[in-house]
């Protein structure tokens, strides 16, 4: 883990690239999945350009210069802890941490061991297990167990270097989701969405002599601190609150992948036939109304910002 302060920023100037879109987060199928995983409206990808050669050994200067740049200050998005709306930073960054994230995987065969180790059946269905908790996550299948429970029987199928890979980090974040996550019964939606994200965020090139694919991006997990403590990606630390900087040194672009985990404040049980309507702020700041049955199958419904409960069996409600 590396830390930097505001000295020697390396002369970088940044520009916001609003024309760069990330299809991995905007297709109808991905949007539907992110909503199911309680990540829609809380995950964001942005692109910025920079004007100097990137030097990996000076990443701290690069990241500090990023947070000091007026174009970044005016455009970098994060979720407000108080309102849940998208805002800009609004805090002077005094210190940063930029953790190197290995990014070497070029094939989704990396996850084939989930089949060979009976975490996932040949049909693609994830093997279930007795419910347990690894705070704050409910573990009801072997996939979440292998992701979270270090003393589980098959945790070691992914080594520590495997778990540090950016591909694995993306996969794990999607599997764990947000506070109201409705988990998948099959593996494929997680793999497909991980692949889309990875391909959209990471840059590659083909080596002419060998025809092999080489990843050119450098990836860092970034945290920023103001005068009173952590200010980015949130003032609160959580495994599912993160910001990754994916730097393309050839195009001189940096992609920022951001997600903020929003805590569940209340858990209510509604009678059968009832659902709840929750108003929340979408990616463009527009209020959206979502009709949802909550994060669990059955009658248990976990609520975040409750507006109404509606009896769907009564036409007069």
Mean pLDDT, the chain cut into blocks of 10 residues (317 residues total): 46 95 95 97 97 94 97 96 89 96 97 98 97 90 97 96 98 96 97 98 93 95 96 96 98 98 58 42 35 35 37 41
Structure confidence at residue 11 (pLDDT): 84
Structure confidence at residue 264 (pLDDT): 66
Structure confidence at residue 283 (pLDDT): 35
Q: Which is it for the CA torsion 234, 47, 246, 55, positive or negative?
A: negative
CA atoms within 13 A on the CB side of 236: 11
| C-alpha angle 45-49-55 in degrees, rounded to nearest 5 | 105
pTM comes to 0.82
Cα end-to-end distance, the chain, whole Å:
55
Contact 143, 120 (CB under 8 A): yes
Structure confidence at residue 307 (pLDDT): 34
Pinpoint the alpha helices (H) of the chain.
Answer: 28-36, 59-68, 70-75, 113-116, 142-148, 160-164, 166-176, 188-201
Contacts of 266 (CB under 8 A, 6+ apart): 302, 303, 304, 306
Structure confidence at residue 104 (pLDDT): 97
Structure confidence at residue 121 (pLDDT): 98
Structure confidence at residue 10 (pLDDT): 62
Question: What would the two tokens of residue 52 be?
Answer: 């100097």
Structure confidence at residue 252 (pLDDT): 98
Q: How many CB atoms lie within 10 A of CB 215?
A: 17
């Amino acid at each position: 883990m590396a830390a930097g302060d505001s000295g020697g920023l390396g002369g970088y100037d940044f520009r916001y690239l609003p024309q760069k879109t990330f299809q991995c987060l905007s297709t109808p199928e991905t949007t539907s999945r992110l909503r199911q995983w309680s990540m829609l409206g809380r995950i964001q990808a942005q692109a910025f350009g920079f004007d100097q050669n990137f030097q990996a050994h000076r990443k701290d200067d690069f990241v500090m210069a990023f947070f000091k740049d007026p174009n970044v200050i005016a455009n970098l998005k994060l979720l407000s802890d108080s309102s849940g709306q998208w805002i800009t930073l609004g805090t002077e960054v005094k210190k940063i941490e930029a953790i190197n994230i290995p990014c070497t995987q070029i094939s989704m065969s990396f996850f084939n061991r989930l089949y060979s180790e009976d975490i996932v059946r040949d049909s693609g269905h994830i093997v279930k297990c007795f419910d347990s908790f690894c705070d704050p996550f409910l573990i009801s299948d072997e996939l979440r167990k292998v992701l979270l429970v270090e003393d589980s029987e098959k945790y070691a199928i992914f080594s520590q270097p495997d778990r540090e890979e950016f591909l694995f980090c993306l996969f794990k974040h999607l599997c764990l989701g947000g506070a109201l996550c409705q988990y998948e019964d099959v593996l494929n939606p997680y793999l497909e969405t991980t692949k889309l994200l990875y391909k959209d965020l990471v840059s590659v090139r083909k080596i002419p002599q060998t025809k092999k694919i080489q990843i050119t991006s450098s990836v860092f997990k970034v945290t920023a601190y103001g005068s009173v403590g952590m200010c980015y990606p949130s003032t609160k630390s959580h495994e599912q609150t993160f910001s990754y900087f994916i730097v393309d040194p050839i195009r001189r672009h940096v992609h920022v992948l951001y997600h903020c985990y929003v805590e569940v404040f209340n858990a209510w049980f509604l009678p059968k036939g009832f659902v709840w309507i929750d108003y929340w702020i979408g990616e463009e700041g527009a209020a959206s109304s979502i009709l949802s049955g909550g994060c669990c199958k059955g009658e248990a419904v976990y609520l975040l910002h409750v507006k109404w409960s509606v009896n769907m069996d009564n036409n007069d409600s």
